Amino acid sequence: MTESRPASGDERAKAEAFISRWRQSAASERANYALFLVELRDMLGLDHPDPAIGEAERDGYVFERAVIFHNHDGTTSNGFIDLYRRGCFVLATKQGCAAKAAARPQIGPLRRRAMPMTRAMMKITRKMKNRVCAIPEAATETPPKPRNPAMIAMIKKTAAQ
């Protein structure tokens, strides 16, 4: 584990520029999330995901990691993990929509802001757990044994939320 240290002036300026740039983004999750994550990783000085090649055993750190769900009725369906790093994490992104937030009815004198975010976090957590369980073992197509990689949810709140 590394020790934390105060950010340098250059690091602080990069972080502020990143925040300013992404604060303006609209509710277009699929259009924005990969660019957001690449820029975040650049700002933090971390390595980039690899190009996906469609082979489970070789796609160890990729965007849009394909998974196959084995449903209770014996059927299968396809899904994707927004960002996957084998043995480390699965990451799911969600971006709020100001128009949807503005259309919500008032509840009492105040709009209940915490509940939509809580529901979103619960929904994304279930979605991520399902995807973790659908990751096949390295050279097989059988569902994996239970394991606990980190699950990271990134939800961008809009100004109206």
SS3 131: helix
Q: Domain segments of the chain: what residues?
A: 10-156
Q: What is the mean pLDDT of residues 67-95?
A: 85
* Sheet with 61-70: strands ordered across: 61-70, 76-85, 89-95, 150-156
pLDDT confidence tier of residue 142, bands split at 50, 70 and 90:
very low
Percent above pLDDT 90 for the chain: 17
Rounded alpha-carbon distances, angstroms, from residue 152 to 41, 70, 148: 14, 23, 12
Q: What is the mean pLDDT of residues 107-112?
A: 46
The more confidently predicted of residues 46 and 113 is 46
CA angle 18, 22, 24 (to 5 degrees): 135
- Rounded to two decimals, the pTM is 0.67
pLDDT confidence tier of residue 155, bands split at 50, 70 and 90:
low
**8 Å CB contact between 42 and 56:** no
pLDDT confidence tier of residue 91, bands split at 50, 70 and 90:
confident
Separation of CA 6 from chain center: 27
